Amino acid sequence: MGMLMIKCPTTGRDIPTGIEMDRTSFTNAPVFFSRTYCPICRTNHEWFAKQAWVRETRRAAKHKVLVTQRT
């Protein structure tokens, strides 16, 4: 499982949507539209699925290790 992330349109920072979804489910999901409360702007941002991505912490950590080994 991963956390669905979006980029805050005002500050450009990554914010978690609070929606947990794995990458496969997200890829297969129909186009959807949602709204997330942004703790930075203290307002709701509206976003489309194509603007979001899944952050999987385990895979990110594994990738980091691989990069370190190559370097």
Output the smallest distance, CB 8 to Zn ion, in A.
Answer: 3
**Which range touches Zn ion (CB under 5 A), out of 9-17, 23-31, 47-55, 61-69?**
9-17
Cα–Cα distance measured from residue 40 to residue 15, given in angstroms and rounded to the nearest whole number:
9
Reference 59, options 51, 67, 70; nearest CA is 67
Q: Are strands 33-38 and 2-7 parallel, antiparallel or unpaired?
A: unpaired
Q: Is residue 5 involved in binding Zn ion (CB under 5 A)?
A: no
Restricting to residues 19-58, which ones interact with Zn ion according to CB under 5 A? 38, 40-41
Binding site for Zn ion (CB under 5 A): 8, 10, 38, 40-41
